[in-house]
Amino acid sequence: MIGNMEYIFSREMLNLLDHFTSLTEVRIAFFSMDGEELCIGKNRSICGYCAMRRRAGAFNAACLADDDGGRKASLEKGGVHFYQCHAGLCEAVVPVLVGGVPIGYAMIGQFRLAGNKVEIRNPREQAAVEQLPEFTREKVDDLLSMFEVLIHHIANHALVGRRDFDQLNPLIERMRTDPAEVLTLSGAARFVGLSPSRLSHLFSSMMGIGFKRYQLFQRLELADRLMQAHPDWRMGRIAASCGFEDPLYFSRAYKKHRGVAPSSFARR
């Protein structure tokens, strides 16, 4: 295993990234949740075209905006997001989910789509672009499928991890398994052996939302399941079964985050 700050990369994962690049000639990289590039297949640098163009501040800013938008879109989809950058080159990104929790992103690119135009200003840029692999749309679909399978394998076999995730994973699993449990931040901190402030910081950093908000969302999802399974239950019983002491608070929270009252959802 190789450590990089809070991340741990297995030798098998690094070998898989190297093999992917060797077979496809497409650059593949792993990024942290905040967009820091941490490891790269064959340690391949960005393409020559991008290296030349990124020297201009405005072009570089547009590239970073494309990357950030791609990561956000992939996280919303929960799967591979394929897109063309502002210069016309192609990239794809997928969130790396361990236990359903995003711990980073994998990105491939750049490559060319057959028939697609790339913004070129001079012969040097033309020569650099021609060195990039070019695929038909059908081949791109095959590439994306292989990319997604590779990342699922890495995630499902725990070939990459975060030290803080390993520490918080038992707590997250506990909250998912029993959303109705009365679990305070202090109680959760004792469970994982951290101070409440440290747990709060790590939880927000890893999950993207705070401890209480995550707990609330888990309870609302449980409420959805119970209302579907038991349409004859009163809202008070649903609320109590989900860990809400006050049925009115449950109704207000449900309507705020679902857009409809729980009784309306139950009738549907």
**pLDDT tens digits, one per residue of 73-113:** 999 888 999 999 999 999 999 999 876 778 899 999 999 99
Average model confidence (pLDDT) for the chain? 91
Span 114-127, average pLDDT:
94
Distance, CA of 33 to CA of 103 (rounded, Å) = 6
- Res. 5 pLDDT band, cuts 50 70 90: low
The two three-digit tokens of residue 241, written as one number: 């079964």
CATH number of 2-162: 3.30.450
- Chain centroid offset of residue 249 CA: 31
- Give first-to-last CA distance, the chain, whole Å: 50
Q: Does the structure show a pLDDT above 80 at 8?
A: yes
At 148, list the tokens: 């997604």
Q: Is the peptide bond before 84 cis (omega within 30 degrees of 0)?
A: no
Local confidence band at 21 (pLDDT 50, 70, 90 cut-offs): very high
Amino acid 152 reads: H
What pLDDT sits at residue 168? 86
State residue 266's pLDDT score: 64
pLDDT at 144 over 80: yes
The pLDDT assigned to 2 comes to: 67
Question: What CATH number labels 178-267?
Answer: 1.10.10.60
Domain residue spans of the chain: 2-162, 178-267
The pLDDT value recorded for residue 45 is 92
* Residue 29, H or E segment: strand 28-31
Enumerate the H helices of the chain as residue ranges. Answer: 11-24, 48-53, 57-77, 123-130, 137-156, 163-177, 185-192, 196-207, 211-229, 235-241, 247-258, 262-267
Is 0.95 surpassed by the pTM of this model? no
Q: Is 96 helix (H, G, I), strand (E, B) or coil?
A: strand
Are 120 and 48 contacting, i.e. CB atoms less than 8 angstroms apart?
no
- Cα 188 to Cα 193: distance, rounded to the nearest angstrom: 9
Query: What is the per-residue pLDDT for 4?
Result: 61
- The residue type found at 109 is G
Q: Distance between CA atoms of 204 and 164, rounded to whole angstroms? A: 11
